[in-house]
Homo-oligomer: A and B are copies of this chain.
Amino acid sequence: MPAIPIKDHIFTIVGGASLVGSATAEHLLAQGAAEVRVLDNFSLGGDGAIAHLRGEPRLKVIRADILRLPELLEAYRGTHGVLHLAALMTLNMDRDPWTGLDVNIRGAQNSIEAARQVGAQKFVFASSNATYGYGPGIKGDLVETTPFHSVGAPPAAILYGASKIIGEQLCRDAFRKHKLDYVVLRYSTVYGERQHYRAANALYIIETYDALKAGRAPKVFGDGSETKHFVYVGDLARANAAAFESAATDVAVNASGPEAVTTLELVRLVTEIAGGGPAPEFEGETPGKVRLTSGGAFRIANEEAAKILGWVPQIGMREGLRRLITWLEEDRRRNA
């Protein structure tokens, strides 16, 4: 049965000590899950990401590595649903493509294999709008059938996107060959409480905020008209749950926020939340910095997710940014 109720069921979140993992664990527990297993090797994820859930008896933290299949076979036993988040993104892929391709591809193979070996009922694979690529080809509505654009994009971004395409196809292959039910969610750039510093676009929010608070002008590349389409982490937690709960299988859908924003709008919103600050400074290319560009205004369409999973994002940029920055300030006070 491809539909798994959250209540009284067991879920494993792979790469769970993370932004999306921690929010999803919290959500699944709140929805009455019998047990949520947070599996992580803690190489990128940290204890801090799941600190707010400490003491919850239904939460189980498992230190394991997705490159070691035996550890997954052990950890997945008895699980009803697997959420596969573990991956290296573009910035880390640039630094270490050997680990990046291993984790994103062999890791996905191991995870899918373990899920079907233990008889898990559904596999939810976190993919990315990176499967549409970057560069001038990216404009207008990005829908689930949009092809992968790579001209004009940095190698690491293409490696990342291609590795996610491979992960998706490994799911399709397992469905065809082994009847493993799955849903692929193509996340747009995630942001929110427990934000990490590894995603180029989300990092930009924090860099902008920090510049403003320090009295420095935030930097805007080009004329600031380039679009970004974020999704609030709490909305994604619900999307992940919806992927388990719905009868949908053998499908890939976008999971993006209510609206796209231009860089200038984003800077304006952050400035508003920061309580003012210097006007942005416009600049050209920074050598050695991995930038993810598009061909102009684009929107990552999420109508398909509404239709197939009944999921609609609820948190707009202003509210989401407010939550992120409130958390950021609290987190820094705690760690000061």
The chain A residues found within 8 Å of chain B, CB to CB, are 97-98, 101, 105-106, 109, 133, 137, 145, 147-151, 155-156, 158-159, 162-163, 165-166, 169-170, 172-173, 176
Contact = CB atoms under 8 A, between A and B. Distances in A.
A184 to B, nearest CB: 12
B133 A170 contact: no
A147 B133 contact: yes
A133 B133 CA distance: 14
Contacts of A173: 97, 155-156, 159
Interface of A is mostly: helix
Given A162-B162, A166-B163, A169-B159, A147 B149 contact: yes
Contacts of A150: 147-148, 165, 169
Contact of A98 (B101, B109, B151): B109
A133 B149 CA distance: 12
Nearest to A148: B148
A165 B158 contact: yes
B145 A147 contact: no
Contacts of A97: 109, 170, 173
Contacts of A109: 97-98, 101
A165 B173 CA distance: 19
Given A147-B147, A147-B148, A101 B159 contact: no
Contacts of A159: 166, 169-170, 173
Contacts of A176: 155
A101 B101 CA distance: 10
A162 B155 contact: no
- Most central of A148, A150, A163 by chain B CB within 10 Å: A148
Pairs A-B, 8 closest by C-beta atoms: A148-B148, A147-B147, A155-B173, A155-B169, A155-B172, A147-B149, A162-B162, A158-B169
A166 B101 contact: yes
Nearest to A94: B173
Contacts of A105: 101, 105
A149 B159 CA distance: 16
A93 to B, nearest CB: 9
A147 B156 contact: no
Nearest to A172: B155
A14 to B, nearest CB: 19
A105 to B, nearest CB: 6
A39 to B, nearest CB: 21
B166 A162 contact: yes
A155 B149 CA distance: 19
A106 B106 CA distance: 11
A130 to B, nearest CB: 12
Nearest to A131: B150
Nearest to A171: B155
6 contacts: A101-B105, A148-B165, A155-B172, A155-B173, A159-B173, A163-B166
